[in-house]
Structures are given as C-alpha cells and as structure tokens.
Amino acid sequence: MAPPLSKARLIGYARVSTEDQAHDAQLDELRAAGCDVIHQEHGSGASRARPVLTRLIREIRPGEVLIVVRLDRLARSVSHLLEVIETLEARKAHFRSLRDPIDTSTPQGIFSLQVLGAVAQLERSLISERTRAGIKAAKARGKRPGNPGMRERRPEAIRKVALAREKVYLDDLIAGADRWMPTVRRMRPQQPWEDVVRVLGNSGQSWTVARLRRAVGRLVSQHMADPALLRPAPRKSPQDRLMTLIAGIAIADPSLSLRDIGAQLERMRERPPRGGLTWSASSVKKQLDLAKKHGLALPPEAQGES
C-alpha cells in the first residue's frame, strides 16, 4: 500500500458497481492514505452517469488531490481517465491512484500519464484503421456498411437503436443534472419555464423551454424528480411575474448582492416598474420585500444592501 500523502487536502472517491456491493475495502485504503473526505458512488463501470464524480470534479479546489484505490474505480476507459485528469489539471488540482503509478503531483506520475496518453492515441488509431479496413473488405464483397436492419427499416432494429440513444441521453442528463436541477427545483412550478430558462441562460447554460421540459420530464419518469415540477405555472400579472422572477434569481444564487441581481436583470432586458433601463439596489430590494410578503422563502443574503 502506498504511503499517505501530506500537506495537500486529500479527497477520496470510492465506487462499486451495484447496490449489493460495499465500499468498505476501498474506504479502508483511502482512510489509510490520509483522505480528509471520501465520496461514495454506486454505478456500473461502463455507465457515463457519475453524478457524484461530476460534482466532485467541479467543486474540487486548487491544490487538492483526488485519490482512488484503482484506476478502474474512476474511469471507463483510458480516454475517459485522461479527460478527468485534464479537467483536474485545469482546476489546478491533482490526481493519484493508490495501486497504480499515477500521481500528477510528481514527475514520475506525469510521465506515466504521458505513456497512457500515447497508448490511448495508438488505440484510437488502430480502431480507426480496423474500421476502414473492414468497410473496404465489406464493399469488395458487395456488402454495404451500416446496420442492415436500419436500412430496411425493421421495427426491432429501430427500437433497439432508439433505446440505445435514450440510454445515452439519460446517462448524460443524470451526469449533468446537478448544474441545472437545483434552479429548476427552486423556481418550478411557481415560475414559468421561460423564466427558468432565462435564469439558467444568464449563468452560462444553453436551454430552450422544450429541451428543459423534456429533460425534467425524463427525470420525473425515472422517479428522480418531483412530478409537481411539471405542473403549469399560475397566471400572474406583469408585476407579479417580475417579482417572482427576481425572487427566483435570488433563490437560485443566494450569494448575489442586490446590485448583482440588478445587473442580471439589465442583461435579461427586464425593465424596472417605473421605467428606464437601469436597476438600482433599492428597486431590487423593493421587489424582494414584496416577494417576502407573498410568502416566498428568500435567502438572508438577498435582503442586504450591497
């Protein structure tokens, strides 16, 4: 077993494939390595849905070290491993596997990573070469490349492809849900989908109303979200809509100051009730005070002046 690391904060990640399996052995090794906190996840090694890992990587801080017992606990493939490590490096964090010679905080570990990268590139080249050779051989025998069932529009083939695509869609949805679902849960069904999309868009996420409703509906069908989120939003007057929109912005990001909310409203081209183009902190606070009177639960930070 590798000796414990020191100085840097160590973050452990343990994964098992099914609910029947236990994390105990991995937890013992990660604790022995000195991990300050350990995140646990259940999920197949082949699955792209790793919500715990996705959140961990997004929230890891510069200088921290992500530690796993073995590489197969982290990544589905060499390319996936490299993708995770590149993301960590971009966040100025490091990675270490206790049973493999990978430690991106050391020159030896970086060298091993470079070797893995070369292997991954060779693997991709060989797969591409074999694919081209197979297509060429098939054409020489008079066969057309692709799925015969799809070309002939066989119902079972179409159904199989549709199921495969749906699984990939759901896996991707689950993996990224913690980026947008908190905002959806805070704003729906009190606010219309259009306002939710605008708040998400202002935080750098690209959604349409149709795409967002479909995504939430898919999670609801998997019993991963409350069906109440899909209820129609109550009709509101223009003033009420503005009030609930501002409350939604404050609830979605409690760290925003009144001036931050005002700047966001200006980017969204929302006009103050008294006209004009510029939102003052007092105008924002007035709307938040109205929201509070209407019983909306606002974070304390949203009621400050700065």
In this prediction, residue 144 carries a pLDDT of 64
Pairing of strands 65-68, 10-16: parallel
The reply to whether omega before 4 is within 30° of 0 (cis) is no
- Length of the chain equals 306
Number of helices (H) and strands (E) in the chain: give both, helices first: 11, 5
In this prediction, residue 156 carries a pLDDT of 78
Two tokens, residue 267: 């980017």
Q: Position 73: which residue type? A: R
Residue 39: φ, ψ to 5°: -100, 135
User: How many CB atoms are closer than 10 A to CB 31?
Assistant: 13
The answer to whether residues 237 and 222 touch, using CB atoms and an 8 Å cutoff, is no
The answer to whether residues 102 and 75 touch, using CB atoms and an 8 Å cutoff, is no
Residues 6+ apart with CB under 8 A from 200: 180, 183, 207, 212
- How far apart, in whole angstroms, are the C-alpha atoms of residue 80 and residue 5? 25
Q: Where are the beta strands (DSSP E) in 176-232?
A: none
Instruction: Find where tokens 């509101």 sit.
Output: 236
Instruction: Find where tokens 């009144």 sit.
Output: 258
Looking at the DSSP bridge assignments, the partners of residue 10 are: 65
In this prediction, residue 5 carries a pLDDT of 46
Reply yes or no on whether 17 is catalytic. Answer: yes
Residue 245: φ, ψ to 5°: -65, -45
In this prediction, residue 1 carries a pLDDT of 44
Looking at the DSSP bridge assignments, the partners of residue 159 are: none
What are the domain boundaries of the chain?
A: 10-113, 154-233, 236-295
- How far apart, in whole angstroms, are the C-alpha atoms of residue 287 and residue 296? 11
pTM of this prediction? Answer: 0.44
In this prediction, residue 3 carries a pLDDT of 43
Q: How far is CA 295 from CA 181, 288, 301, in A?
A: 22, 11, 17
What tens-digit pLDDT sequence spans the chain (306 residues)?
Answer: 444 444 678 999 998 876 556 678 889 999 999 998 999 987 765 556 678 888 888 889 999 999 999 888 887 677 778 888 888 888 899 999 898 878 887 887 777 777 776 766 666 676 777 777 777 776 777 666 656 655 667 777 677 777 777 777 887 788 778 788 888 988 888 888 988 898 888 777 889 999 999 999 988 988 888 999 999 988 766 667 788 788 878 877 778 888 888 888 888 888 888 778 888 888 888 888 888 877 665 666 554 544
The answer to whether residues 187 and 296 touch, using CB atoms and an 8 Å cutoff, is no
The answer to whether residues 202 and 216 touch, using CB atoms and an 8 Å cutoff, is no
Catalytic choice (6, 17, 79, 221): 17
Classified by CATH at the fold level, domain 10-113 comes out as Rossmann fold (3.40.50)
